[in-house]
Amino acid sequence: MLGRPSWVSNYFTTVEGLFLGARHILSGAHFQMMIDEDFSMKNRITLNKKTKQNLFCYAMIAYPVLHFLLFTVYVNFSMVVESFYNWNPSTGNTDYVGLLNYQNLFARIGNDVTLQFSIRNTLLWIPLGIFVMVPVSLMVAYFLSKKIRFHKFYQAMFFFPCILSIVVTTMAFYFMVHPTMGAVNSVLKTIGLESLKRTWLGDLKTALPTVMFFCIWVGFGMNTIMIGSSISRIPADIYDVGRLEGIGLFRELVSVVIPMIWPTLTTQVVLAASGSFAVFIQPQLLTNGGPNGSTSTIALYLVDQVKNANYGRAAALGVLIAVFGMLIVSMVRWVMDQRESVEM
């Protein structure tokens, strides 16, 4: 057989080379396409993760922002606007009266005994919380931190009123001091001190101290737990240095513990000052502000104005409470911050 001409062989060799080269190029392009698709997929996955993270962050921020706008900005703004109007409950009409609600409110201070008691009691609650409840909670928390016998039991007993509903706790205390069925008068009679028996919530001399004692008892447990948790985070080395220097418990409390937990004490003091303007449910359930308005508070008086459809006067009182409360709390916070700078 005759062999193939050389030009035929060269032709097939060239075609085969072109085919192999084209396949190589196409394979490389396909590979690059796969890389591009993979890179694009990774980008989409990354973008999806970032989008989900952003949506989660926005969702977490949305509620507090909406809560602030609705219950702080809108409600307070509406209260300020309402304080310049009078609303007639029979007709439903509102009349612009300017500062008349504020003028009437200041005029009532001279002849409204319940309002006088409300202002006095609210002002008494501020030093009661700052100078009684917080210091007592501090001392109890400090001694419990020393791991005295049954300290866990004492902590549970102090915190127990905070677990229960305030309504349940208030009713339990009410029956405890009841003049005929109460445990307090029964104990006094048993130990021979029957002359000290009182109608604790019905006597002008004992009603307010009894309500104040109950408020301290209810808030005492929470303050003790919060202060105690701060004390427990103080490094043991600091106590060891104090013992080497021979300091006693009182000096350790004043010189070591209090400076170390000052931010927590500042928070407790500010909460005690601001909470004084919101005391409502305890006197409302125990005495309803009686006897003769002697246990009323400014918050309870405001609610009574709303019940009597004096919405303009109630709004004006709410504005004054907010302004005065912010001034008091700001002053207390400034004093605590100045004291902290001196300690440091």
Q: What is the pLDDT of residues 233-283, one digit of tens each?
A: 888 888 877 777 778 788 888 888 888 899 899 989 998 988 888 888 889
What confidence score (pLDDT) does residue 300 get? 92
- Higher confidence at residue 153 or residue 104? 104
Whether 286 and 223 share a structural domain: yes
Determine what percent of the chain falls in helix, strand and coil, rounding each to the nearest 5. 75, 0, 20
**What average pLDDT score do residues 208-227 get?**
88
Residues in the chain: 344
Out of 57-66, 100-109, 197-206, which region has the weakest mean confidence (pLDDT)? 57-66
Q: What share of the chain has pLDDT > 90, as a percent?
A: 15
Residues 114, 19 share a domain: no
What does the DSSP 8-state code read for residue 129?
A: I
Tell me which of 59-63, 169-173, 296-300 is least confident: 59-63
Q: Is residue 219 part of a domain?
A: yes
Question: What pLDDT sits at residue 157?
Answer: 78
Does residue 87 belong to any structural domain of this protein? no
pLDDT at residue 296 above 90?
A: yes
Spatial separation of the C-alpha atoms in residues 116 and 289, rounded to whole Å: 12
Domain count, the chain: 2
Same domain (yes/no): 73, 116: no
Answer yes or no: do 33 and 71 share one domain.
Answer: yes
Statement to judge: residues 297 and 227 lie in one domain: yes
d(CA 24, CA 14): 15
Q: At residue 343, does pLDDT exceed 60?
A: no
Claim to verify: residue 49 and residue 129 sit in the same structural domain: no
Q: Is residue 99 situated within a structural domain?
A: no
Is 64 a domain residue? Answer: yes
Asked if 122 and 261 sit in the same domain, the reply is yes
The tens digit of pLDDT for each residue in 140-193 reads: 888 888 877 777 777 777 777 777 888 888 888 999 998 888 888 899 888 888
Q: What is the reported pLDDT for 3? A: 46
Distance in angstroms (rounded) separating the CA atoms of residues 297 and 291: 13
Last residue of a domain, one of 50, 82, 114: 82
Q: Is the pLDDT confidence value at 102 over 80?
A: yes
**126, 238: one domain:** yes
Does 60 share its domain with 133? Answer: no
The answer to whether position 299 is within a domain reads yes
Statement to judge: residues 220 and 316 lie in one domain? yes
In this prediction, residue 30 has a pLDDT band, given cuts at 50, 70 and 90, of: very low
Confidence of residue 40 (pLDDT cuts 50, 70, 90): low
191 within a domain of the structure (yes/no): no
Residues 59 and 137 in one domain: no
- The answer as to whether 42 is a domain residue is yes
120 and 254 assigned to the same domain: yes
Task: Inform me whether the pLDDT recorded for 49 exceeds 70.
Answer: no
Range of the domain at 27: 7-82
- Range 307-313 contact pairs with CB under 8 angstroms and sequence separation of 24 or more: 309/87, 309/89, 311/82, 311/86, 311/87, 312/82, 312/83, 312/84, 312/85, 312/86, 312/87, 312/97, 312/100, 312/101, 313/101, 313/104, 313/105
- Per-residue pLDDT at 180: 86
Give residue 116's pLDDT band: very low, low, confident or very high (50, 70, 90).
very high
Last residue of a domain, one of 82, 114, 130: 82
Report residue 94: phi and psi, to 5°.
Answer: -115, 135
CATH number of the CATH domain containing 234? 1.10.3720.10
Residue 183 located in a structural domain: no
